[in-house]
Structures are given as C-alpha cells and as structure tokens.
Amino acid sequence: MATIVLFHHILGLTPGITAFADELRQAGHIVHTPDLFESHTFDSIDEGMGYVQQVGFGAVIERGTRAVESLPTDLVYAGFSVGVLCAQKLAQTRSGARGALLYYACVPLSEFGDAWPDGVPVQVHGMDADPIFVGEGDIGFAREVVESAGQGELFLYPGDQHYFADRTLPSYDPDAAALLLSRTLAFLRSVA
C-alpha cells in the first residue's frame, strides 16, 4: 500500500479526479486530493487558466506545498496537467519521496533544482499528439526527467487529447485511460 497525494488539473477538483483517486483507493492505496483552487471548478482550460493567472502559479504551487505539511514524507506525488507543478516540485525538493506520477505535463528539472533526486522513480504519461504535452514542449522535459531519474518511464499513448484519463470529459479515451491506470497501479505496487 502506498500513500499518494494527487493534485488535480486546471479544471479543479472535479468528479473525474475524485473518481481516479477512488480507483487507486479500491486497489488498497491511501489517496489525498488537495483542492488547489479552493472549491472553484471550471468548464474549460481557458477558464481554469484565467483563474491560475489571477491567483498566480506561485500561489497554486504554495497551496500544494502547504497541503502536505502535516503528512509524512514517504509519499508518492501525482499530478494531472497543472497539478504536475506541485507533484514534480515536491518529488524533487521534499526529501523522502517514494515516487512521482506526472500525467499530461512535465516541467524542466531546473524549475525546482538541478537534478532528479536519487532513488525516486518517476512515470510520465501523455498522448503522442497532444498539442499541449507535445506541442508546447513538455515531452522534451519529460525525457530529461526520465533520463535524470534513472528509474524513470515515459509512456506515450496514441491520440491528441490532453485530459484522456478523466472519464467525465469528452476527451476521455477509455483504452488509453485503462492502460494508464494499469501502469500506475504497477508503479504503486513497486514503491509500496
């Protein structure tokens, strides 16, 4: 059993995020789902991005950092899209991390330090034609993180959707989502 902190995407802590967390719980894991947006949810990426720009990326990341202060350090940090900022920062900077699961996004290692911490495995998941993950360069950062980690895996799924594992959205791809969940559960078994 692993303890996971799962950070939501730019639409907020939606039913799709809580459903994914529930699937991890059904597999026997403990999952915390901090609400980085203080109960705000959005219907589009543009609306969510407007909120984040208003409060500031730094403030959102700080909310993620505060959310784990009372938790033990031996956590798996996971994040969907903008939630990757918190997950990656904590995995890179908070000692004791058991692993990181980065969905749909990745940022340069230099954003939070110089290298990935020794002994912290990571998985990065994204679609091979996602205009955000591939088109905006996250795939290159993912390769950098995976290479630096030593125990890293980059999984690319066929398709062009960003939120492909959120069953409540039109972008949901059931086959890719099932494979992502299977790989996630295997990762969690390996670090538990």
Q: What is the CATH number of the domain that holds 14?
A: 3.40.50.1820
State pLDDT tens for residues 171-190. 999 999 999 999 999 999 99
Q: How confident is the model at residue 192 (pLDDT cuts 50, 70, 90)?
A: confident
Distance CA 88, CA 152 (A): 13
Q: What is the pLDDT of residue 21?
A: 98
The answer to whether 100 and 87 have CB atoms below 8 angstroms apart is yes
What strands lie across the sheet with 3-7, from one edge to the other?
A: 30-32, 3-7, 76-80, 99-103, 122-127, 152-157
State pLDDT tens for residues 96-145. 999 999 999 999 999 998 889 999 999 999 999 999 999 999 999 999 99
Q: What is the pLDDT of residue 80?
A: 98
Distance CA 108, CA 59 (A): 19
Q: What is the pLDDT of residue 43?
A: 94
Residue 124: strand pairing partners: 102, 154
Average pLDDT over residues 54-82: 96
Q: Is the pLDDT of residue 84 over 90?
A: yes
Average model confidence (pLDDT) across the chain = 96
Average pLDDT over residues 20-30: 98
In this prediction, what percent of the chain has a pLDDT beyond 70?
Answer: 100
Range of the domain at 124: 3-191
The answer to whether 160 and 127 have CB atoms below 8 angstroms apart is yes
Burial readout 10-27 (b: 16 or more C-beta within 10 A, e: otherwise): bbbbbebbbebbebbeee
Q: What stretches of 69-158 adopt beta strand conformation (E)?
A: 76-80, 99-103, 122-127, 152-157
When divided into structural domains, the chain yields a total of 1
